[in-house]
Amino acid sequence: MEIIIQPDSRTASAVAARIVAARVREKPHAVLGFATGATPLEMYRALVDMHKTEGLDFGLVTAFNLDEYVGLPANHPGSYRTYMREHLFRHINIAPDRINIPDGATPDIPTCCRGYEERIHAAGGIDIQILGIGTDGHLGFNEPTSSLASRTRIKTLTAQTRRDNAAIFGGERKVPHHVITMGLGTIMACRTCLLLAFGEKKARAVAAAVEGPLTAMVPASVLQMHPQAVFVLDEEAASLLTRTDYYKWVYANKPDWQKS
């Protein structure tokens, strides 16, 4: 794992955006995995800015989103399809037919999930998967006790995750209980996993994922087994790590050939 600690979420988001942009520039047909939630918003703004000011070209990029709520129509304000359109897709030149988001309104969830895995495979696999982390250590919507080998499927949200995501729905009672999410096995098959975490409320989950034991109780700890997992953190999210000085030294002294 590579642990990059930045002074604040703005600089951390800029670092993450540069990693994504570098991949898109070297591979215009890159397959990007996108995440939703509060955390990647600044990174998406930075990517939009690079598109507008530097001509960063998404014309050949294929997108796969991590997850979606079950039972919401695509145009619901709380759906992740709406989120992606508003915060990224309508501001860049991505082709609509290259955008893939699980269909939360499908009448046939197992077929939808199998089809999603097949589309990822047919696209050549995901080059960079952007990830957040839940306060309970979840990855995508793989809640604690999720199988570490799981593939795209339906999951039930924990009470804590429904509380964390209540704002956009105008109250916890309105947050759906079920979601379709890429599995931990799906995420582990991505070439690079780029996890962003900001703020003190993520510190416990980050410390458990990075320095704790590998356990299904902290799904993000599965990234300890990933050959190319990068955590981009602000100081607050990194505050419970014990090896901070080492991580900072490694990043500051990265040999040129290792720089992305």
What's the closest the beta carbon of residue 60 comes to ligand PGA, in angstroms?
28
Closest CA to 57 of 86, 21, 84: 21
Determine the interface stretch with ligand PGA among 34-42, 78-86, 111-119, 177-185 (rule: CB under 6 A): 34-42
Considering the complex, state which of residue 25 and residue 69 has its C-beta at the smaller distance from ligand PGA.
69
Exactly one of 39, 100, 129, 142 binds ligand PGA (CB under 6 A); which one? 39
Is residue 136 annotated as part of the catalytic site, yes or no?
Answer: yes
Report the DSSP beta bridge partners of residue 3.
231
Exactly one of 14, 21, 38, 105 binds ligand PGA (CB under 6 A); which one? 38
Residue 133 in the binding site for ligand PGA (CB under 6 A): yes
Candidate list 42, 68, 127, 143, residue with the active-site label: 143
Using a 10 angstrom Cβ sphere, with 0-12 exposed, 13-18 middle and 19 or more buried, the burial of residue 81 is: buried
Exactly one of 33, 37, 102, 183 binds ligand PGA (CB under 6 A); which one? 37
User: Given its phi and psi angles, is residue 170 left (phi above 0), alpha (psi -120 to 50 degrees) or beta?
Assistant: left
Interacting positions 147-186 with ligand PGA (CB under 6 A): none
Is residue 143 annotated as part of the catalytic site, yes or no?
Answer: yes
Exactly one of 33, 132, 137, 183 binds ligand PGA (CB under 6 A); which one? 132
> Rounded to an integer, what distance in angstroms lies between the CA atom of residue 257 and that of residue 260?
8
Q: Which residue has its beta carbon closest to ligand PGA? A: 37
Identify the helix (H) or strand (E) that includes residue 24.
helix 9-26
The tokens of 155 are what?
């999951």
> Rounded to an integer, what distance in angstroms lies between the CA atom of residue 259 and that of residue 248?
15
Considering the complex, state which of residue 98 and residue 168 has its C-beta at the smaller distance from ligand PGA.
168
Supply φ then ψ for residue 38, to 5 degrees. Answer: -75, -35
The binding site for ligand PGA (CB under 6 A) comprises 37-39, 132-134
- Residues involved in catalysis: 67, 136, 138, 143
